[in-house]
Amino acid sequence: MKKADVVVIGGSAGGIPAAISCRRRYPEKSVLLIRKEEQVLIPCGLPYIFGTVGSPEKNLIPDAMLKNNGIELTIGEVEEIDRDKKVVSIASGETVSYDKLVLATGSLPVILPIPGVDKENVFSSVKDVAYLSNMLDKVNKSKGIVIIGGGFIGVEFADECKKNRDNSVTIVEMLPHCLQLALDEEFCIEAEKVLIERGIKVLTNKRVKAILGNKQVSAVKLADGQELKADIVIIGVGARANTELAEKAGLQIGPTRAIAVDRFMHTITDPNVFACGDCAEKYSFFSGKLSRTMLASIAGAEGRIAGANLFDTRYRNCGEIGVFSTIIGEQAFGCAGLTEGMARQEGFDVVTGEATAPDRHPGGIPGAALTKVKLIFSRDNGLLLGGEVSGGRSTGELANIISACIQHMMTAYEVSLFQMGTHPALTASPMVYQLVNAAELAVKAMAK
């Protein structure tokens, strides 16, 4: 029987950082990472295979990350965990004993409980190279694609599947707006406008009743009776924690149907078994309540905590802030923390500030994109609760600045004095730097 100090099950956004973090903190410990995939796809890159990137093979996480950090790799499916003996069994028959175990088994796409979802040419974001290669072939030949779900995944699939193709692409969203779970209404409307300009049909407030066709899909039927012709359907309505192995091992599953963990990423059930990433239960940074947000970046932070805590408790998970960004055509959107709507729902007395300026200066400089920042503060104590951005390519890192300010519990007063560097070709001008101006306007509003 093989032996490793640490066994990590899962080789993506949670497992890799957990393994690396362990090797960095405990260089004397041996780490074996077991994953079932021959090749691992970059999870957030899946939609981009269909336009910008061009093939699943160009969207892989290189195994060099493991080798360079002295992590052993076994490809195979773990079928069982014997927690008493501290041994995992792989489908090949191999067994490995561990001292500490990390579960990073990720998530699976949610399958809608509607008739016809099992028809040919109904796809979802399955993280498998062969599956995606087949899907790409079909998308290339398709004339009509219906995408069910207008969240980030749905919107990104729509934009990418439309690129350089003479086809029809339609998003069907149940809620009043696309991206509504991540952005305030005004940003959602802006995003929908860009989608429509790019030739994508956007149907909101619509429920899907059935997927029609014989063997293959031919149309999508909505609850209002409307039928949308389609030779391909892509379902992007979210993901559920992959807990099969954990359940089999008798580990407690929490109310969000993910593996129950404490703030140190130990499973509630077994102090020698850790879980991180999409398969592990999450808490909101703001309320401490259970959260269903799944992001590769959260998986990474959790993986780092798990890896660092394996043999000594070093880090506490502060809970997920939720930082997203995306781009539709050349218009990027980002957010960190709570939207105004979410903050009000949580009962905060909210003050917002908003500022718009070009992301380069002077505004007429080539490549400048008008970029808007909205910040959300608690009136009571001035704390930054969240922010949203729409604009040019710096939007992703602007959302990350907001995240840094949230994470360190900055107030509007502090953000209004933020010392940023500025440069004509790289940022807004110092006088109109959006983050600072949005905060100053919020301070003004608080004074009222």
Pairing of strands 2-9, 95-103: parallel
Q: How many CA atoms lie within 13 A of 425 on its CB side?
A: 0
324 has which bridge partners? 335
Q: Does 422 bind its own copies (CB under 8 A)?
A: yes
Among 173, 301, 339, 379, which residue sits at the site for its own copies (rule: CB under 8 A)? Answer: 301
Q: Is the dihedral of CA 209, 214, 215, 218 positive or negative?
A: negative
Least CB distance to its own copies at residue 383 (A)? 13
Between CA 153 and CA 163 the distance in angstroms is: 16
Between CA 164 and CA 400 the distance in angstroms is: 31
Among 178, 401, 412, 438, which residue sits at the site for its own copies (rule: CB under 8 A)? Answer: 401
**Minimum CB distance to its own copies smaller for 344 or for 444:** 444
**Minimum CB distance to its own copies smaller for 149 or for 322:** 322
Q: Is the dihedral of CA 330, 335, 339, 342 positive or negative?
A: positive
**Minimum CB distance to its own copies smaller for 346 or for 440:** 440
Among 5, 99, 186, 414, which residue sits at the site for its own copies (rule: CB under 8 A)? Answer: 414
386 has which bridge partners? 337, 376
Element (H, E) at 326: strand 323-328
Among 123, 274, 315, 377, which residue sits at the site for its own copies (rule: CB under 8 A)? Answer: 315
Q: Does 364 bind its own copies (CB under 8 A)?
A: yes
**Residue ranges in 65-94 that form contacts with its own copies under rule CB under 8 A:** 65
Q: Does 413 bind its own copies (CB under 8 A)?
A: yes
Question: CA separation (Å) from 166 to 65, 100, 163, 233?
Answer: 39, 53, 9, 17
Among 85, 250, 380, 418, which residue sits at the site for its own copies (rule: CB under 8 A)? Answer: 418
Q: Does 321 bind its own copies (CB under 8 A)?
A: yes
Pairing of strands 323-328, 331-337: antiparallel
Q: Does 50 bind its own copies (CB under 8 A)?
A: no
Task: Please state the length of the chain.
Answer: 448
Between CA 308 and CA 312 the distance in angstroms is: 7
SS3 label, residue 39: coil
Scan for tokens 């029809």, then name that residue: 168
Q: Number of residues interacting with its own copies: please give it, by CB under 8 A.
A: 88
Among 13, 90, 145, 146, which residue sits at the site for its own copies (rule: CB under 8 A)? Answer: 13
Q: Does 269 bind its own copies (CB under 8 A)?
A: no
Among 217, 228, 323, 412, which residue sits at the site for its own copies (rule: CB under 8 A)? Answer: 323
Least CB distance to its own copies at residue 198 (A)? 15
Q: Does 443 bind its own copies (CB under 8 A)?
A: yes
331 has which bridge partners? 328
Scan for tokens 């959300």, then name that residue: 376
- Only segment of 54-62, 94-102, 171-179, 222-230 that touches its own copies (CB under 8 A): 54-62
Least CB distance to its own copies at residue 208 (A)? 27
366 has which bridge partners? none
Among 233, 433, 434, 438, which residue sits at the site for its own copies (rule: CB under 8 A)? Answer: 433
What the block records as the tokens of 286 is 């703001």
Which residues, 6+ apart, have CB-to-CB distance to 428 below 8 Å? 357, 358, 359, 360, 361, 371, 422, 434
Least CB distance to its own copies at residue 304 (A)? 6
Q: Does 44 bind its own copies (CB under 8 A)?
A: yes
Least CB distance to its own copies at residue 351 (A)? 13
- Only segment of 119-127, 131-139, 259-267, 419-427 that touches its own copies (CB under 8 A): 419-427
Residue by residue, what is the 3-state secondary structure of 312-323?
Answer: CCCCCCCCECCE
SS3 label, residue 82: strand
Helix axis angle, 152-162 to 185-197, nearest 10°: 20
Q: How many beta carbons lie within 10 A of that of residue 125, not counting itself?
A: 23
Residue type, 375: L
Residue type, 397: E
**Residue ranges in 117-176 that form contacts with its own copies under rule CB under 8 A:** none
Among 38, 113, 347, 408, which residue sits at the site for its own copies (rule: CB under 8 A)? Answer: 408
Among 169, 398, 412, 438, which residue sits at the site for its own copies (rule: CB under 8 A)? Answer: 398
**Minimum CB distance to its own copies smaller for 230 or for 286:** 286
Contact mark string toward its own copies, 228..267, x via CB under 8 A: ----------------------------------------
Among 217, 295, 350, 383, which residue sits at the site for its own copies (rule: CB under 8 A)? Answer: 295
**Minimum CB distance to its own copies smaller for 168 or for 352:** 352
- Only segment of 232-240, 245-253, 258-266, 332-340 that touches its own copies (CB under 8 A): 332-340
